[in-house]
Structure 1
Amino acid sequence: MDRAAVFDVDGTLVDTNHLHVTTWWEAFRQAGHRVPMHAIHRAVGLGSTDLVAHLLGEDRDKDQDDSLSAAHTTLYAQYFDRLPALDDAGRLLRRLHEDGWRVVLATSASGAELGALRRAIDADEAIDATASADDVEEGKPAPEPVEHALELAGVPAGRAVFVGDTVWDMRAGSRAGVRCVGVLCGGIPRADLEGAGAQAVYADPADLLASLRESPLA
């Protein structure tokens, strides 16, 4: 039977979490909101609307949601031509592909942003499918992004592993019934990832690649 290796992208394969923190902070500032950077960092990984709701609360002016998201997108887009892949991210995907895994990306990014992330990873030949924000109604921590990735791979949850860097990733994967692997390169502590469902935690893609034979992706 086929196996699926499902990957989050931001903070997992590409070193973008702190770029998101800075650009969301500026988008909030421009709209008159003072939101601490540490709070934004903990919210990275949520879809735009969920991130705004998480940080500003349900009693916010929801008419601002679209303009906040658009401002973040515009600010973040200035980095599209130089997004840095994490060490060995592309090599990890190519190795798994060579080992017979169906590699699927599950990300809240879409459109030009997703294209920029894929260019940074530079491993399109190893990626079988992508489940983007455009494909689902609910983002992480809902299981739908991971479930959709499994549908694209044609693989049941018991034959899949999900790799991510946030508690939202771990919760989404756990709710979808897949084994979850955490990476620390997004800046979230090991204990938080394990508490949210990570069965194993590695420093980054290079560490996971070096430890592949002993990992859930063996």
Structure 2
Amino acid sequence: MVRAALFDVDGTLVDTNYLHVTAWWEAFRQAGHTVPMTAVHQAIGLGSTDLIEHLLGAGRDRRQDEQISGTHAALYATHFERLSAVEGAADLLRALAARGWKVVLATSASGPELKALRRVLDADDVITGTASADDVDEGKPAPAPVLHAMELAGATSGETVYVGDSVWDMKAATGASVTAVGLLSGGIARQDLVEAGAVEVYRNPADLLALLDSSAFSRVGNGG
């Protein structure tokens, strides 16, 4: 039996969400849009095009999308050398790998951004694969990223747990019929994660690691 532990990265394993918020806020401002930071925060976890549409609407001037996305990417990239992992992130991945779980990242990040995140996480030795934004036609909350990550692990939905910090993560996991576990490390409220499908919610990876033996990981794949 294969057991797959799938993880979002931004806000879940690496402490980046609020950097993304300020970068997106400034990118929108430079394009002439005033978007509240609270609204941007709630949208973090969506892919770039989906995030822009979520915040500006389908009737926006789509000719601005590339400029907005590019500005965000450039601003966020200035933080690459100062990023830090969330407490317990690498330890959790290594603990799961030691117990026989295949660890796969399922993230909206790609290219240099994903490379920077993996460098900070420093756990490539236990990561089986990565499903990035470049690998699927639809990003979260569509289940495609989770389904692709499951394929990389060779696991079924009943053998899989997905860990993320956003509403979009929880919706993508439940859409793929996968057990969804939420973390508060990205700043999203516990109730919001539960309403989106999280069966359990923990403060951060360290908290989940401390309670691993009583978590969803102890039941998935074991008939629980």
TM-score by length of 1: 0.99
Unaligned stretches of 5+ residues in structure 1: none
Q: Quote the offset at 1:116 in angstroms.
A: 0.4
Aligned residue number for residue 102 of structure 2? 102
* Cα separation, 1, equivalents of 2:65 and 2:202: 35
SS in 2 for 1:128: strand
Aligned residues: 218
Unaligned stretches of 5+ residues in structure 2: 219-224
Which residues of 2 match residues 11-160 of structure 1 at below 5 A? 11-160=11-160
Percent same amino acid at aligned positions?
A: 64
* Cα separation, 2, equivalents of 1:138 and 1:180: 19
Q: Does 1:5 align with 2:5?
A: yes
4+ runs deviating over 4 angstroms: none
SS in 1 for 2:180: strand
Q: Quote the offset at 1:184 in angstroms.
A: 0.5
SS in 2 for 1:115: helix
Q: Quote the offset at 1:172 in angstroms.
A: 0.2
* Cα separation, 2, equivalents of 1:136 and 1:182: 23
Aligned residue number for residue 213 of structure 1? 213
* CA-to-aligned-CA distance 1:127-152 (integer Å, 9 cap, x gap): 00000000000000000000000001
Q: Quote the offset at 1:217 in angstroms.
A: 1.2
SS in 2 for 1:40: helix
* Cα separation, 1, equivalents of 2:164 and 2:33: 29
SS in 1 for 2:217: coil
TM-score by length of 2: 0.97
* Cα separation, 2, equivalents of 1:9 and 1:106: 7
Q: How big is the alpha-carbon RMSD for the aligned residues of Structure 1 and Structure 2?
A: 0.5
